[in-house]
Amino acid sequence: MNFKKILLCVIIVLIIVAGIGIFYDSFIATKEFKLGDTYFNMPSGFHQEGCETTDKYDLTNISDGKCVIGMYEYRNNNITNIMNHYVSEKNKDNYSVQIVNSTVNGIVIHKSVILNDISNVHYWFVYNDIGYEFYTWDANNDTDNIVANLVKTMKKSS
């Protein structure tokens, strides 16, 4: 075989290997993101959009271009007060709020839905003695599953 054929074969193999690596990283590899002191697996098709840190909470947003989910990690675990304040404020604005509880991996999640705007959904829960709130104004049929999978993949940074 002459040198040009060998070089062409090497280039083709390198392109194939690079393509497999890019495909794996983009579509198969699990990507993590951090909120405060906790890591989550990024839902498929989502990306992180900025972070904010205050003395009361850490905040980040994740999005797939159609649905944005805001995520708070509070500096305390008194999620009941935060949730009750939210419901009280919505009631003052003449919105009816329904709270539904569910459990994921032993974690009780309180989900609120504004009845005349079902795409406005909040989720509150406590994990490792820290309060969390996830919310979206773009809720769809997959939102509950996305939130459940986020909760399932939570792990404290070491």
> Which distant-in-sequence residues (6+ apart) come within 8 Å of 96 by Cβ?
114, 115, 116
Q: Which of the residue ranges 6-15, 33-42, 85-94, 107-116 would you say has the lowest mean pLDDT?
A: 6-15
pLDDT(25) > 60: no
| % of the chain residues with pLDDT over 70 | 86
pLDDT digits (tens, 9 = 90+) for 98-108: 999 999 999 99
Question: Tokens 């649905």 appear where?
Answer: 67
pLDDT tens digits, 60-74: 999 999 999 999 999
pLDDT at position 97 is 92
pLDDT band at 157 (very low <50, low <70, confident <90, very high): confident
Distances (CA, A) of 17 to 4, 31, 97: 20, 21, 53
DSSP state of 9: H
Residue 12 has pLDDT above 90, yes or no: no
pTM of the model: 0.78
Residue 39 pLDDT greater than 90, yes or no: yes
